[in-house]
Amino acid sequence: MGISEEIKQEKFKSEFSKAVVNILYTNSWINQQNLQLFKSYGLTTPQFNILRILRGQHPNPATVNLLIDRMLDKSSNASRIIDKLEQKGLVVRSQCSKDRRAVDVLISARGLDLLAKMDDEMHAWERSSNNLTEKEAEMLNFLLDKVRS
């Protein structure tokens, strides 16, 4: 079913403006799918995203500033999201030795474990809902990059 049928809108100003709506709609669809998984592990979407960035840095820490910079949805609330992760024992906070204004955030063993468990389900989902060929996925990446260029 195409985007027109799904949102019951026949006409668009242009093929490009249809694509814009299609991106927003597909984003919402993906979030909906992920949300169930995240909730079943007691995480919110931003919490999960921060954990993933931290794993990317591991075994090095990341400053709060770096986390904000890398987040998909830049949040002005990074501190409090990290609070939650710290309360759950998934990350460790410590003062940065090189710059005492900065705070080093490090993913804990427990955080790594949790992500590892989630990875399995995540990849299972990606495999099962990957309807694109390799070439098509490449083309999609190319076009999305071009939208933002």
Per-residue binding string, its own copies, 48-87, x by CB under 8 A, is --------x-------------x-xxx-------------
Sequence-distant (6+) residues with CB within 8 A of 85 are 47, 50, 51, 91, 111
| Least distance in angstroms from the C-beta of 65 to DNA | 3
| Least distance in angstroms from the C-beta of 148 to DNA | 19
Q: Which of residues 86-125 bind DNA (CB under 7 A)?
A: 93, 96, 99-103
Sequence-distant (6+) residues with CB within 8 A of 91 are 50, 51, 54, 82, 85, 105, 106, 107, 108, 111
CA dist list (Å): 89 to 44, 79, 92, 106, 107 = 15, 15, 7, 11, 9
Choose from DNA, its own copies, none: what does 26 bind? Cβ within 5-8 Å by kind: its own copies
Count, residues near DNA per rule CB under 7 A: 27
Is residue 116 a contact residue for its own copies (CB under 8 A)?
A: no
Choose from its own copies, DNA, none: what does 15 bind? Cβ within 5-8 Å by kind: its own copies
